[in-house]
Structure 1
Amino acid sequence: MKQLNTQVDVNAPISQVWEALLDLSKYGEWNPFIYQVDGSCRLNEVVTVHMHISGKGFQQYRVKLTKIDEAAKAFYWLGHFHVRGLIDGDHRFELLRLPDGRTRVRQYELFRGILVPLVWNSYIVRHLLPCFEALNENLKAWCEHAPLPHALARP
């Protein structure tokens, strides 16, 4: 198993950041990576995630929402590259209230599958990591009511 990790500190209350992450219908207004989600934000719901991956173009995946924990402020989904076992991605958002009132967003993904070692550097680190970072930066700006630093994707 390999893990891709990112985080960002947002100058906004945890409730506001949590609301932005769970409002899947508004991702297209701020998210440069995941520009559309078809489906509802409910535990065990299977939704279609439409993504723009830098250097690779537009893709979509069906993912299952595996954890929505209001108390812990944790939101997870699990997706597969074509079929289970090739590349399985357990994508996670976890929020932490900082002592000064800001919110730390940890966005990371656990990757498993037979193709992961083959594509780790050439695809996952090279193409997905910048997408995670752009999402973080735009989420920060969105919650802080600042201009979005990354352009929004449109197919």
Structure 2
Amino acid sequence: MSKHIVRMTLGIIILLVVLYIATLVAANTTITEKSIQTEVVIDASPSRVWQVLTDFEAYPQWNPFIRRIKGEARPGEQLTAELNVGDLTMTFQPTILIVQPERELRWIGRLFIPGVFDGEHGFIIEQLGRKRVRFVQSESFKGILVPFSGGILKDTERSFQEMNRELKERAEGQT
């Protein structure tokens, strides 16, 4: 093997080790954390909002943010989701963490390995009256790439708001 190939291989190995260590450090610190939260009041029962939220097959008909999602709403299930954020379309595979019917759905998605760019996404349905709820959609982002993601986080917040509006319309029976 030539010296050039050995040096290049060694350089790549060192770079990977440094990235791995940075990932471990980032995974254990809150310096690289950002959160988004949006909410909307919906004039529908918790069961109706839950039914619309968890009817993944119908997402292409109404959801401008999560265009497609495959899988079932149960803890441990790995979903395949296609998102529209600004001008970007992304596919990722989050794992469901919490399913509390008519109350909460939560999953975590990761870019590559833990600590690079992790997002814990939550949907909470808070009953305000017999046929009125507050729907809260949030995401906490952690990882070494979070400080460099300002633009996409603004687009993500707009996408949350668009989804909330469409969910409200569908749950209230207007579509």
Q: Same fold (TM over 0.5)?
A: yes
Distance (Å, rounded) in 2 between the aligned partners of 1:100 and 1:70: 16
Equivalent residues of 2:97, 2:108 under 8 A apart: yes
**TM-aligned CA deviation for residue 90 of structure 1:** 0.2
The CA RMSD over aligned residues, in Å, is 1.4
The letter of the residue matching 2:170 is W
More strand by share: 1
Distance (Å, rounded) in 2 between the aligned partners of 1:62 and 1:92: 15
Q: Secondary structure at the match of 2:129?
A: coil
From 45, 49, 70, the counterpart of 1:13 = 45
Runs (4 or more) in structure 1 with deviation over 3 Å come to none
From 145, 149, 153, the counterpart of 2:173 = 145
TM-score normalised by length of structure 1 = 0.87
TM-score normalised by length of structure 2 = 0.77
Aligned to 1:134: 162
Aligned to 2:106: 76
- State the percentage of identical aligned residues: 29
**TM-aligned CA deviation for residue 100 of structure 1:** 6.1
Residue 60 (structure 1) aligned with residue 88 (structure 2): no
Residue 39 (structure 1) aligned with residue 71 (structure 2): yes
Rate the CA distance shift 1:99–1:38 in 2: closer, same or farther, 3 A: closer
Aligned residue runs from structure 1 range 66-105, under 5 A: 66-70=97-101, 73-99=103-129, 101-105=131-135
From 105, 108, 119, the counterpart of 2:138 = 108
Q: Secondary structure at the match of 2:93?
A: strand
More helix by share: 2
**TM-aligned CA deviation for residue 101 of structure 1:** 3.0
Aligned to 2:152: 123
Structure 1 or 2, whichever has the larger Rg, is: 2
Distance (Å, rounded) in 2 between the aligned partners of 1:18 and 1:122: 30
Consecutive unaligned residues in structure 2, runs of 5 or more: 1-32
Equivalent residues of 2:85, 2:152 under 8 A apart: no
Consecutive unaligned residues in structure 1, runs of 5 or more: 148-155
Residue 25 (structure 1) aligned with residue 69 (structure 2): no
**TM-aligned CA deviation for residue 114 of structure 1:** 0.7
